[in-house]
Amino acid sequence: MNEIQYFESKDKNLGIQISIQLIQKLHNICKKAYPYETGGILIGRYSEDLKWAQIMTVSETPLKSNRSHISFTRNSHGITLILKKYWEEKQYYLGEWHYHPGASSLPSELDKKTMFMLSRSTKLHCPEPILFVVGGNINEWNHYAGVYKRNEEIILKEV
């Protein structure tokens, strides 16, 4: 049986669900990357009323991504093939994830700016991308989840 972690907005109108197994996968990717930032994409599906997103897959860090102790720029190498594969299973691009090694999971101003830019992208067809950030380290992980609508950040709290 797969345990699920829920994150939802204060007004309970939006939320995500992600399995504990996927969160552990993210932690393992982050452990390997430490002390560098890393990241990838979130793939899954939406509820019929579009209020909930179920994260079903998280990608590994694409090749040729730029990583340092304080920044991460995801390369799109191989992403199209991954998305095409999951599209056939009716799973879609939901957003981005990345890691703040040894730091808070709260998004930086650059993180927010990037997410607002993605929400306006006509190529992505994802007007409300999700950002999931892992912070901390092997001794103490912390998580941030948010949805970005054009000019609004909607913070999702763990429930």
Q: What is the 3-state secondary structure (H, E, C) of the chain?
A: CCCEEEEECCCCCCEEEEEHHHHHHHHHHHHHHCCCCCEEEEEEEECCCCCEEEEEEECCCCCCCEECCCCEECCCCCHHHHHHHHHCCCCEEEEEEEEEECCCCCCCHHHHHHHHHHHHCCCCCCCCCEEEEEEEECCEEEEEEEEEECCEEEEEEEC
Whole-number pLDDT of residue 2: 77
54 CB neighbour count, 10 Å cutoff: 16
Active site (catalytic) residues: 37
The pLDDT profile of the chain, 159 residues, written as one tens digit per residue, is: 579 999 999 999 999 999 999 999 999 999 999 999 999 999 999 999 999 999 999 999 888 888 888 888 887 888 888 999 999 999 999 999 999 999 999 999 999 999 999 999 988 889 999 999 999 999 999 999 999 998 899 999 999
CATH code, residues 4-158: 3.40.140.10
* The predicted structure's pLDDT at residue 1: 57
Q: Look at residue 66 in the predicted model and tell me its pLDDT.
A: 84
Structure tokens at 31: 């452990």
Q: What is the pLDDT of residue 14?
A: 97
Distance (Å, whole) CA 143 – CA 139: 14
